[in-house]
Amino acid sequence: MDNCQDTLFGGFAPNSETAKVMSENLGSKTVMSGSVSKGKNDPSQSLQMIERPLMTTDELKSMPKGHFILMKTGMHPMKTVLRLFIKWKIKLDKEYQVNQRVQREVKYADINKITSILKYKFKKDDNIKFDLKKIINEAGVKVE
């Protein structure tokens, strides 16, 4: 999320660590806090300014369904309500079908075949040097 200019979040799981991170990302505000105590003859009052998260982890986790927080770079975060997509009254022409999960044949590349294709395609210029095995290993391709 480091490159995101807009972040929309809500609906956290009860044991979500993300809610803690997002609470920190929202920042904090200064609020007045105080206490009142009564003695025999006179009551005393104490007021102080303290820092408080804009929304605590618990507040984020307990947001009602459909409620979200929107953060945009350079702007203050805001609470918003979005209707669930099933309430948008979008009608689909047909129901989406997911293909069955079947085992498919996995094909592996042959290093010699790849090398010969590259040499043919690029007409092996002696000035161009590359380590094909290193490139393939870095790409994570399995080679026979």
Q: What is the 3-state secondary structure (H, E, C) of 35-103?
A: EEEECCCCEEEEEEEEEEECCCHHHHHCCCCCEEEEEECCCCCEEEECCCHHHCCCCCCCCCCCCCCCC
Query: pLDDT by residue (tens digit) across 46-99?
Result: 889 999 999 999 999 999 988 999 999 999 999 999 987 778 887 778 887 777
| Predicted structure pTM score | 0.53
CB atoms within 10 A of CB 26: 19
pLDDT tens readout for residues 121-135: 776 565 556 666 676
Helix, strand, or coil here: 124?
Answer: coil
